Structure 1
Amino acid sequence: MRTPARSNSRTVASIRQLCSMALPEEIFMAKFLEVVREWLGCDTSHFIWCEGKTLQPVNYSGDGFTDISAVQRFFNHNSKVEYPGVMPAFADLMRTNASGTLGCAEEGADAYLRSGLYQDVMRPCDGRYMLYLVAHDIRGAPKGLLSLLRSSSDKPFTQADHEKLAQLEPYLRHALSVNIGVANAFESADSEGLVVLNGDGALRYQDHEARRLLWMASHDRIDGNALIHLDSHNITPQLKRLHQRLVFIFEGRNARPPFFECRNSWGKFVFKGSWLDGAHEKAVGVRVLHFIPRSLKAWKGLHRLDLAPRQQEVALLFSEGKTVAEISDQLSISRHTVAEYVKVIYERLEIDPNREALQQVLLA
């Protein structure tokens, strides 16, 4: 179901904040797609990442999307095909600064509906109307294809929608230029799943969230090959390791604690194992937790607060440890103005005038 469009100024300010937080690219993109989808009133939003040298698709991020088979078809076939009058092959498209609509009021809309791109990929997921943008980093290097879809029961994208998306492009460039080595403090569990193994380590049960998190923890990228394993019920290396540790502990042998973490482009994953009491047979329960960066948790917390967009920006930067001078330089406003904003923030939130109190409010 289509998400109603959100108001303009506050959402743009929120997106600008998100793009300036130096988040790992994949973590940033997951939240960016969610916000943009809601803002422009779309059914689904997608980002196909391209490899730097070959410009071939190498990774996928999406929001509101369930037809993974359509993504597989795109990676394995459609991305390599040129659609005359509609869209060039993916690698050729990445060499452009293209943006626009497909299936709407543009010239060639009928050609899009007849193309294999629509028939094979978009139609199965009811992507009747598309708004797209080739995204680049600040050096001009292509990063991937951003696309927003509406179903046949919705209105086509308009020029106003196109202009809205275009105004985000400078912020998106900044977000996609973050150094991969940027450190992030992962302090907030964003989602959690449960897995149950029997005494021999075979899978007895896993909830939907656990299946998703285990797959993300095992695949640093989402491409055609990784998607093949999405519905696999094989035990991941992480679960095998936990089960072995618990068996050793049960037998009184030396073993490390049944707990470990791993990190990849999707964030930090924590695995906690324990024997399940009261089970008819020996069984192991594993909690799988996915942690998001602390700064992203704080950004999400801003939306609960009664602050103007500029006050939100100052609050976020101040909570991250930035000084008044640093905030002044980053936002191009005077130090006096920053100090006044900080004072107003404390008063409106009715908290003690210190950075720790502000952090607690944002992370609550």
Structure 2
Amino acid sequence: MSSDAARRRWLNPSNFAFMSFSFFIRLGRIAIHLAANAVCQGHCRNRSNRSKQLAAWPFEGSRITPVADAAVPLSPSNHYERRVLANLPSAGGQIACTFDERKGGEMKRMSSIAHFRRLCCLGLPPQSVMPSLLAAAHDLLPSETNGFFWADENGALAGFTPEYVIPEVVTTLAEDFAGVVERALALNFEMTMRRGVAIGNLLPIFSRDFYRGSTYHLIYRPYALHHAIDGIVRDSPQGKGLGALVLGRSARQPEFSSVEKNILRQSLPYLAHAMHPPDTPDVDHFAAELADSGQKGLVILTQRAEVAYISARAREILLLAAHPGAPAEGGNGKGAAHVPPAVLKVFANLVLISQGRDAAPPVAQFDSPLGRFIFRAHWLDPVSDSASAMIGVTVQLQEPLVLLMMRNMQAEGLSDKQKELCLLLARNHSFAAIAAQLHISLATAKDYADRVYRKLDVHTREEALRKLSRP
């Protein structure tokens, strides 16, 4: 085609209009693409900047995991807007949780709330269920150390149940609570039970001067209680105080937010319900059945009944045995130097048996509101007749079987219906009775059981109950 012919084609009005239209269409597409790209980059940049201002609160875990920037106060009340900060070995950076992760965190938190409420409604003695409630409170509100202070009929301090025992701190609280703790409070414990607010009676004392004082270093710092929140449990909204639930966090974590205070406030009525177990003449044999809690320790004695060694776990169990409500001969909580009479009893029986004299088996047990304590004595070197031979006494704590099963079912991720089905299976109910009690069909009840078996990787009812009963 010659240049004149090409020029005439371009100058043709119809061809020129079509080419101009196509050109503007392409130009518009390019402009839209560039604008969308700019918006996307700006959105990602805003998310990255915002994520640096928000602290990490993984509701999926039972404990707070210290992370970078975790001391930055939480600003959003809606946890959907919170970002998860990850300690990545390579990048060490921060990642924003996806919608699925946020949705999973919300479902996990709702499951934790339901688990806490169900524990409160088991109808068990409050002293026996309290350790499980303190453990479940970690999922209810992210915390590191939890405890419960008991009040008597007059509102005076009657005891303290820590999540784990630090003997020196527990002994100090038992011997001089008024002189060590109450002097730092605006109201003493009894007045707090009568006139204290529902949430936050401890908050005014956490000041710079308090962190420098002896009370913080003697009581609060060993338990990493740099930030704490307390809730007063009452038998009615304006009734007498039954005790105080205390949740604590270390200095690496932020203070409790207003949203978390509201969650704790909503949980207090359920905790008050747990403080009033049913007083019925009918004995629930399943609720009364005990199982090994997995808490076991060792005390080693010389033949002169002197303590040569005591494990940390045994020391904790012996202090729990001295908890108010347990028999007085359970010990005075003095730590490793004190030998409770129950330990001395099994020790003496073992020595008498080795001498060929008549004596009861070297085992003793007593029941308390916390569970059942069992002591067993044995020679560490059975073939040795020397005076230096040592005697070992194992100390063990048993807890209600239903608490052990509830803890294992929560860890296995069973739904509320599946948990209820497992408890009915443990009571030896038939599938027909289970279907009637859960108001479902027989086929649905069996289908629930099959789903439980698959989750637990078992095939029969007996295998499922055996797995859920392991400490």
How far off its partner does 1:49 sit?
0.4
Q: Which residue of 2 aligns with 1:76?
A: 178
In 1, distance between residues paired with 2:301 and 2:118? 42
Deviation at 1:201, TM superposition (A): 2.0
Cα separation, 1, equivalents of 2:346 and 2:464: 38
Q: Map 1:14-163; keep pairs closer than 5 Å.
A: 14-52=115-153, 54-63=154-163, 66=166, 68=169, 71=173, 75-77=177-179, 81=183, 83=185, 87-96=186-195, 98-101=197-200, 109=204, 112-113=206-207, 119-122=213-216, 124-125=220-221, 126-137=224-235, 140-163=239-262
Give the structure 2 partner of residue 233 of structure 1.
Answer: 337
Which of 1 and 2 has higher RCO (CA within 8 Å, sep 6+)? 1
Counterpart residue number, 1:297: 404
Structure with the larger helix share: 2
Given that 1:55 and 1:91 are in contact with CA atoms closer than 8 Å, whether structure 2 keeps it comes out as yes
| 2:466 alignment counterpart | 360
Aligned partner letter, 1:60: F
- Specify which structure has the higher proportion of strand: 1
Task: Provide closer, same or farther for how the CA distance between residues 51 and 120 of structure 1 changes in structure 2, counting only shifts above 3 A.
Answer: farther
Q: For the Cα contact (< 8 Å) 2:322–2:332, is it kept in 1?
A: no
Q: 1:38 to 1:353 in 2, by over 3 A?
A: closer
- Choose which of 333, 357, 369 in structure 2 pairs with 1:253: 357
Q: CA 1:120/1:134 → structure 2, altered by over 3 Å: closer, same or farther?
A: farther
CA contact (8 A) 2:227 2:255 kept: yes
Q: Percent identity?
A: 21
What CA distance in whole angstroms lies between the structure 2 residues aligned with 1:80 and 1:101? 15
Further displaced range: 253-262 or 196-205: 196-205
Partner of 2:276: 177
The DSSP-based 3-state class of the residue aligned with 1:287 is strand
Unaligned 5+ residue runs, structure 2?
1-61, 66-104
In structure 1, the gaps of 5 or more residues are none
Would the alpha carbon gap of residues 348 and 266 (structure 1) be closer, same or farther in structure 2, given more than 3 Å must change? closer
Deviation at 1:321, TM superposition (A): 4.9
- Give distance in 1, aligned partners of 2:431 and 2:113: 23
| CA–CA distance in structure 2, aligned partners of residues 323 and 138 of structure 1 | 39
Map of 2:15 onto structure 1: none
CA 1:243/1:316 → structure 2, altered by over 3 Å: closer, same or farther? same
Is the 2:435–2:442 Cα contact (8 Å) retained in structure 1? yes
After TM superposition, the score normalised by the length of structure 1 is 0.80
- Residue pair 1:263, 1:269 contacting (<8 A) in 2 also: yes
1:165–1:268 distance in 2 versus 1, CA, 3 Å? same
Letter in 2 for 1:262: F
Conserved 8 A contact 1:59-1:221: no
Change (3 A) 1:74 1:30: farther
Separation in 2 of the partners of 1:235 and 1:64? 20
Matched, 1:313 2:420: yes
| Distance in 1, Cα, partners of 2:165 & 2:291 | 28
How far is the alpha carbon of 1:218 from its aligned partner? 3.7
CA distance in 2, matches of 1:361, 1:232: 35
Contact 2:121–2:274, Cα closer than 8 Å, also in 1? yes
Within 5 Å, give how 1:176-215 maps onto structure 2. Answer: 176-179=275-278, 184-215=288-319
CA distance in 1, matches of 2:140, 2:463: 31
Q: Name the CA shift for 1:240/1:166 in 2 (closer, same or farther; >3 Å).
A: same
Does the 8 Å contact 2:331/2:341 carry over to 1? no
Deviations 1:304-334 (A, max 9, x none): 43422332234334434568899899xxx96
- 1:95 aligns to what SS in structure 2? helix
- Secondary structure of 2:225's partner? coil
Aligned to 2:346: 242
Task: Note if contact 2:202-2:229 (Cα within 8 Å) is conserved in structure 1.
Answer: no
- For residues 41-97 of structure 1, what are the alpha-carbon distances to aligned partners after superposition, in whole Å with 9 as ceiling and x for unaligned? 222112110111x211110012257471663587232565585xxx42211211247
Taking a change above 3 Å as real, the CA distance of residues 121 and 38 of structure 1, as seen in their structure-2 partners, is farther
Does the aligned pair in 2 maintain the 1:19–1:175 contact within 8 Å? yes
Rg (Cα) greater in structure: 2
In 2, distance between residues paired with 1:4 and 1:220? 31
1:210-250 CA-partner distances (Å, limit 9, x unpaired): 1221232244359xxx9974335122211211121112212
Across the two proteins, how many residue pairs are aligned to each other? 347
RMSD: 3.6
Alpha-carbon distance in 2 for matches of 1:337, 1:122: 58
Moved more, 265-274 or 145-154: 145-154
Q: Structure 2 matches for 1:280-295, cutoff 5 A? A: 281-295=388-402
Please report how far the alpha carbon of residue 159 of structure 1 lies from its aligned counterpart in structure 2 after TM superposition: 1.0
Residues 13/153 of structure 1: CA separation in 2 closer, same or farther (3 Å cut): same
1:115-168 CA-partner distances (Å, limit 9, x unpaired) = 769945446525332221111246944210111122333211111101111222
* Letter matched to residue 47 of structure 1: F
SS in 1 for 2:194: coil
Secondary structure (helix, strand or coil) at the match of 1:282 reads coil
Question: What SS does the aligned partner of 1:157 have?
Answer: coil
Distance 1:229 1:315, change over 3 A: closer
For 2:379, the equivalent position in structure 1 comes to: 275
- Determine if contact 1:45/1:148 at 8 Å carries over to the other structure: yes
How far apart are 1:347 and its partner, in Å? 3.5
